[in-house]
Amino acid sequence: MSKYLYIAEKPSVAAEFAKALKRSTKRYDGYVESEEAVFTWCVGHLVTMSYPDRYDERMKRWSLETLPFIPEQFLYEVIPSVSKQFKIVKTLLNRKDISRIYVCTDSGREGEYIYRLVEQMAGVSGKERRRVWIDSQTEEEILRGIETAKDLSEYDNLGASAYLRAKEDYLMGINFSRLLTLKYGNTLANYLRKDRTVISVGRVMTCVLGMVVRREREIREFVKTPFYRIVSTICLGGGTFEGEWRAVEGSSYYGQPILFKDNGFLKKEDAEKFVELLKMPEPMEITVDQVERRQEKKNPPLLYNLAELQNDCSRMFKISPDETLRIVQELYEKKLVTYPRTDARVLSTAVAKVIDKNIRGLGKYEPAAVFAEEILREKRFVGLAKTRYVNDKAITDHYAIIPTGQGMAALSGLSQTSRKVYHVIVGRFLSIFYPAAVYKKISVATKRKVQALSKEESFFSSFKVLVEEGYLKVADRFYGRKKQEGKEESAKAEDGSVDGQGGYGPEGETFMRQASTLKKGMVLPVETFAIREGETSPPKR
């Protein structure tokens, strides 16, 4: 009787396929088998590209005479440490009773490359091969992947791109590492006081190293520039707000070289002179010149792809991109999230149609339960396909990383950091089912007639308050935000400029009510004109 062979990347994944197919298996060395099927695994890479000395003994010795090294035919070999598993897999692939091979390695370029190298070295021929392409390791997704598996030839272009990338990495690493080591290795070794030094070159790492070095040079060569801004404290109702002076067109200082940008002075004495001029004549008053009122919406962010998740985890949890990938791969293998190696930040139309399954599953995750219940009760998932979070054209291999709503039993066995990463993935996912946050924003321009200069000098203020929380109530729960967005945004300004006032809650709303009474031509008392000292900052590492 013929059997089907399922070949995965890891033993745990092979076990999930056997479990999903409900096969009663018997364990052997390197595989498990039932009456209908055989399940085996690759334990990562089993085959690799050969070193140059396999081509020519002379290549053992690094020499400029043997460069560039560009073979017409590339050689491959089994990795010695996993040769036993390769022999097992090779035997199974070529077993006479195996009529069909299901390729179940990770659904991506690297997974494709892992299998094709094994098949190439094993000399497989005359077998039907089908590619299982899945987005998560849930039982229903595995069964769907098997049912819809296409002939392996449908993925030949993906396989070709994997081979090409590997050859590019190989040729760049071999040739440039040897060239630069031969040219500059001794000089570097002498500088480092070592016997010898190898200069490693790689397609990715060398570019990243270059960026790090350039940024570090910018930081070390950076010279701080002090500056002095002028701020007015304007009275309104029972409170005050600040206005920032700018040398706009019509100002006595417009375009003057003594300025730092258009909102400060390079020397403190110039700032002090200007403040004294601003204080005259008394009483100190300022006139409202322009008032602009508008609503501002902030939509929930797009879903996570791997790069965005790595950025956030680095910022929030201080873990490396590699550690984030390891964690999200673990979450994927435990059925908690979808496939991690994706560059898409949206969902497919097909997934959007059944997204309520993911939401229902999250009802079992305590931090998400109240939101999942609300989304389902109010049917907020209906019409998701028409939003910016669904776009089939923006998806190459896989859609964004989202929680599957399954695998909750595995959470207790995860590390604290892994649980945190899962937590933020869930929070980002739930956010897309909530409306935009709505802010009320008021921008005010005021003018002060400076008698000694016979000119009017302009001050600018802006106020923002949250009036509709929208998706931020999810963000507050999952990201621990303290509703300080107005302050966070203003702190980003390189020159230290800030919004006049912003806020949330009763105090912010009270001030906005007072600010809403502002009209052009109103004359307001000024409590003081002050100097704010600051200095430019170097780029961040």
State the catalytic residues. 339
Q: How far is CA 512 from CA 295, 380, 443, in A?
A: 13, 31, 11
Q: 3-state DSSP: the chain helix, strand, coil percent, rounded to 5?
A: 45, 25, 35
* Spatial CA neighbour of 401 closest among 375, 427, 363: 427
Residue 334 tokens, joined: 């435990």
471/298 Cα distance (integer angstroms): 9
CB 511 within 8 A of CB 501: yes
| Distance from the first to the final alpha carbon of the chain | 63
Amino acid at 71: P
Query: How many CB atoms are closer than 10 A to CB 206?
Result: 16
* Spatial CA neighbour of 113 closest among 74, 164, 171: 164
CB 277 within 8 A of CB 270: no
155/524 Cα distance (integer angstroms): 71
Amino acid at 174: I
Between β-strands 226-236 and 523-535, what pairing exists: parallel, antiparallel or unpaired? antiparallel
102/149 Cα distance (integer angstroms): 8
52/49 Cα distance (integer angstroms): 9
Residue 54 tokens, joined: 């396999």
Residue 270 tokens, joined: 């110039």
Amino acid at 475: A
Q: What is the DSSP letter of 166?
A: H
Cis before 11 (ω within 30): no
Residue 349 tokens, joined: 């139309």
Q: How far is CA 420 from CA 328, 335, 425, 445, in A?
A: 11, 16, 9, 45
Place of tokens 């590997």: 166
Q: What is the CA radius of gyration of the chain?
A: 32
387/355 Cα distance (integer angstroms): 14
Looking at the DSSP assignment, which residues form a beta bridge with residue 23?
none
The H-or-E segment that residue 271 falls in is helix 268-278
312/304 Cα distance (integer angstroms): 10
Q: How far is CA 406 from CA 2, 107, 348, 396, in A?
A: 34, 20, 19, 25
* Spatial CA neighbour of 284 closest among 240, 252, 246: 240
Residue 38 tokens, joined: 């055989």
